[in-house]
Amino acid sequence: MNGKIYVCTLSRNQAAELGMEEAYWESYRRNEECASAVKKVIDENYDGWNLKAGCAKEVIDRFGFDRVDFVLAYNIRQMSHDGRIGPKNKEWAERISIPLSTGFKGSWLIQSHPGLLDLFIRQVRSEQETGFFTEGQWQKPENEDFEGRLLLLDIARVRERYPTADCQMFYCMEDTGTEVIGFFLKDNSMDCFQHSDFLGELKPEFTPAWVPDALEDMGCSPGQLQDMGMRMNF
């Protein structure tokens, strides 16, 4: 079966109302398979001392980042008070969208020791960050108004759609307070997101050399670029 089956985040009732019951149950069963696969890989790759490096890739290749992220984040949410799950993994899970309407799904739980699951999640995060901007390369914006800033989208939002770090960069043209409207520097495609979809603003020293030309091509004036240069060293 293709690992790219749509990850349905609707409740059963919502899916029924929208005529998407088949998609709901396909995704439901795929989540069960993913949870079982994670446990199997952990069991087969833990030698009593260490979890084999790179073993998470087998699950990622089979199910895709979207589903693996969703299932792992769902599990972390169910054990949010468990100290054996590290704070960075918990913080990562909070950035994965899991609607409250999802409810409790016992068959999605990964029946592995929390400490081993924590190690597995670290591997998944490491695989995600390969080729992307990583922690330390961005900063929180000076204020809540993102307009005129070069932002970095959360990897979880772009990994399946865009495979490289240059696709993570998003320029905000307008910030309405609820929506961040702008374009991807990679292909100039327009889109809108919420503030919570972004990691932060790219630090000056990590800004690629081609960025000023890309912004100028999209209509940024010399004055705007100079203003951005105060933050980005253009």
Does the pLDDT of residue 60 top 80, yes or no? yes
Q: What are phi and psi of 196, to 5 degrees?
A: -70, -10
The answer, as to whether pTM is greater than 0.75, is no
Q: Kindly state the tokens that stand for 166.
A: 């240059």
In a 3-state reduction of DSSP, which class is residue 139? strand
Which pLDDT band holds residue 222 (cuts at 50, 70, 90)? low
CA-wise closest residue to 41 among 32, 51, 31, 28: 51
pLDDT at 58: 93
Which pLDDT band holds residue 233 (cuts at 50, 70, 90)? very low
Model pLDDT for residues 6-39, shown as the tens digit of each residue:
788 888 888 899 999 999 999 999 999 999 999 9
- Helix extents (H) in the chain: 12-17, 21-45, 56-78, 87-94, 114-129, 155-158, 211-217, 222-232
**CATH level 3 topology of 138-232:** SH3 type barrels. (2.30.30)
pLDDT at 223: 54
pLDDT at 160: 63
pLDDT at 162: 63
Higher pLDDT, 158 or 126: 126
pLDDT at 132: 76
Cα(90)–Cα(76) distance, rounded to whole angstroms? 7
Model pLDDT for residues 148-187, shown as the tens digit of each residue:
888 998 876 666 666 666 778 899 989 998 899 988 888 8
Domain extents for the chain?
12-129, 138-232
pLDDT at 230: 35
Length of the chain equals 234
Does the pLDDT of residue 231 top 60, yes or no? no
Model pLDDT for residues 180-221, shown as the tens digit of each residue:
998 888 888 888 888 888 988 888 788 787 787 778 777 775
pLDDT at 39: 97
Model pLDDT for residues 91-121, shown as the tens digit of each residue:
888 878 787 777 788 899 999 999 999 999 9
132, 155 Cβ separation under 8 angstroms: yes
